[in-house]
Structure 1
């Protein structure tokens, strides 16, 4: 399967904005991980960017997962980009 990299941005008030949606977000990520589509995901230390690696049959599937996430739907993530990734090592 193809690997994809996610780069996205958080809202300026990320800590306050994410609080009511955090558990649903984490539960969804856990399901994606169990299904084998999510390899890893997390914020940068300064909480300005999110980085993730997905393994899926298409970019459209990855975008659907991102856009269904409570963080995207509630403005915690403000923008994102997905690129097909070639893992060299």
Structure 2
């Protein structure tokens, strides 16, 4: 199954602004992980970017998951890109 890399950008003051949405965000990610579509996801150490790896039938599924996330819907993630990735090793 194809793998996809997602890079996104966080809003300013993310640590404060994400608080109301954090649990719903984490719960959704846990479900994605359990289903096998989410390989890994997390912020950069400076909490300006988010990086994720997904395994899905196609890019549209990954975009659907990102755009259904409370962080996207509430402006915590301000932009994102998805690219198919070839895992060489």
Q: TM-score range by the shorter chain?
A: over 0.9
Q: Distance in 2 between matches of 1:15 and 1:8?
A: 16
Q: Which runs of 5+ in 1 are unaligned?
A: none
Who is 2:48 aligned against?
A: 48
- Write out aligned runs for 1:40-79 (5 A): 40-79=40-79
Q: Which runs of 5+ in 2 are unaligned?
A: none
1:12 match: secondary structure: coil
Summarize deviations over 1:40-76 as a string: whole Å, max 9, x none.
0000000000000000000000000000000000000
Instruction: Provide TM-score, normalisation by structure 1.
Output: 0.99
**Backbone CA RMSD of aligned residues:** 0.3
Runs of 4+ in 1 over 2 A off after TM superposition: none
Q: Distance in 1 between matches of 2:13 and 2:58?
A: 32
